[in-house]
């Protein structure tokens, strides 16, 4: 069993502004999680949040930047588990930006949720991406000058 998430938005902002919001570590920490992200292929970084022991999550998302096309595409791994070195979630996150009608079509593909437990995780994460994260992301975008 495998499940993938695909979430699409139309944003009334230019791709450069949207790109800044998904690649600037300070902005990322304001709408997603604290992090040590750098937009450089091969860079390993982490997102930090509250652990959820019942879900087998230690509060750290382990990532590596796989691909960058400035203002167009960002791809990184997204891994998590109950403790460092023990990975039970091994997925890939792809952001694709396309200019459209004076704004940007933003597509988030979060792929590779395998097995029953990760299927359930994908449901929770899908809700998070669609509701909570979207609201904060749009707020930050709208506040940017």
Q: What is the CATH number of the domain that holds 57?
A: 3.30.530.20
Give the mean pLDDT of 118-122: 90
Q: Tell me what pLDDT residue 100 has.
A: 97
Statement: residue 85 has pLDDT above 80: no
Percent over 90 (pLDDT), the chain: 79
User: What pLDDT, on the 0 to 100 scale, is given for residue 40?
Assistant: 98
DSSP string, 10-29: EESS-HHHHHHHHH-HHHHH
Looking at every residue in the chain, the average pLDDT score rounds to 94
Owning domain of residue 31: 2-143
Instruction: Report the distance separating Cα 29 and Cα 122, nearest Å.
Output: 21
pLDDT for 145: 67
Q: What is the DSSP letter of 43?
A: -
pLDDT at 131 over 90: no
Q: Number of folded domains in the chain?
A: 1
Q: Look at residue 132 in the predicted model and tell me its pLDDT.
A: 83
The DSSP line for 86-101 is B-SEEEEEEEEEEEET
In the numeric block, the tokens 């791809």 are attached to 75
């Amino acid at each position: 069993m495998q499940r993938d998430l695909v979430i699409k938005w139309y944003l009334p902002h230019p791709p450069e502004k949207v790109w800044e919001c998904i690649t600037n570590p300070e902005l990322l920490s304001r709408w997603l999680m604290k992090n040590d992200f750098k937009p450089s292929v091969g860079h390993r970084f982490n997102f930090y949040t509250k652990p959820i022991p019942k879900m087998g999550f230690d509060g750290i998302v382990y990532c590596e930047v796989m691909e960058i096309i400035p203002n167009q595409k960002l791809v990184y791994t997204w891994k998590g588990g109950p403790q460092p070195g023990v990975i039970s979630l091994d997925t890939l996150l792809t952001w694709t930006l396309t200019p459209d009608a004076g704004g940007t079509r933003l597509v988030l593909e979060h792929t590779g949720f395998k097995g029953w437990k990760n299927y359930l995780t994908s449901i929770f994460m899908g809700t998070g991406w669609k509701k909570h994260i979207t609201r904060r992301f749009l707020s930050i975008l709208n506040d940017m000058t």
